[in-house]
Amino acid sequence: MFDQIKEDLRCVQARDPAARGLFDVLTVYSGVHALLFHRINHWLWQKGAKWPARYFANVARWLTGIEIHPGAVIGRRFFADHGAGIVIGETAEIGDDVTLYQGVTLGGRSTDSGKRHPTIGDRVVIGAGAKILGPFTVGHDARVGSNAVVLEAVPEGATVVGVPAHVVRCRRESDDCVEHDERLGHLRDFDAYAVAGKIEDPNDEIIDNLRRQVAELRVEVQRLCAVMEGVPDCPGSQSPRENASDGSAEVSVDDTFVDDDSVLSRLEAPGRTGTGGA
């Protein structure tokens, strides 16, 4: 257990540039305090001392603001950065080299007595405020963006964001390799806050879609105006330069207001082409 605790302390230095040394990590990191409590509480839980394990887990929650059920399984080199508001349920399983940020919930969606909470693979990073709810697996090397709500399994190497969470990127196999230090293992390309590089902004995507729709509508309007030029008394049928000789402003098809009801009534009137004029 002591070797495991040493790894827990050293991995904080590897992942947090604000860590100034082991003494700093041991004394001022609430995530480390919560993990140390959990290592002991989980041992008690496994030995059948359920009530003491739950009691000291509650004490740890009072002291750190992090709630970890003593039944949860947490692997080596776990790091809860900032930590406040993290909740880890009873049947949650967490692999090695996992990093969680503040406000993360590994919760369930049912009151069944069996497996209710997620299984987190190795080297997973879960961003601030993310919620992973249900008895499914988040694959190795996955990234969960801040405030994402994950309701289904996440593939290995995938980055998921949004509500509900969806995959926005999958890493190549060559990017999943991990370099291990002589004393501990940590990510070669560790991504703080779970998402690195450029992720497409959903607002930009919405705006681009609207622009495409507007362009398509313009084409359709031009096509309809071309058809309406052959309909007498139809707005838009006037030639764009018809009034230019008398000095009046030119009439543009794009500037002409076409009332849908008036156009339909003219088209449906007797004697109009294709509408009962036969």
CATH of the domain at 100: 2.160.10.10
Q: Is residue 233 part of a domain?
A: no
Q: Which two tokens stand for residue 139?
A: 């694959």
Domain that holds residue 171: 1-185
Q: Record the pTM.
A: 0.61
What is the total count of domains within the chain?
1
Determine, yes or no, domain membership for 44.
Answer: yes
Residuewise pLDDT in 10s, the chain (278 residues): 677 888 888 888 888 888 888 888 889 999 999 999 999 999 999 999 999 999 999 999 999 999 999 999 999 999 999 989 999 999 999 999 999 999 999 999 888 888 999 999 999 999 999 999 999 999 999 999 999 999 999 999 999 998 888 888 776 453 433 333 333 344 445 555 555 555 566 667 778 888 989 999 999 998 888 888 876 665 555 554 444 455 544 444 444 455 555 555 555 555 554 444 44
Confirm whether 139 is domain-assigned: yes
Query: Is position 56 within any domain?
Result: yes
In a domain, 162, yes or no: yes
Closest CA to 129 of 149, 104, 106: 104
199 lies in a domain? no
Gyration radius of the chain over CA positions: 31
Is 271 a domain residue? no
Query: Quick check: is 19 in a domain?
Result: yes
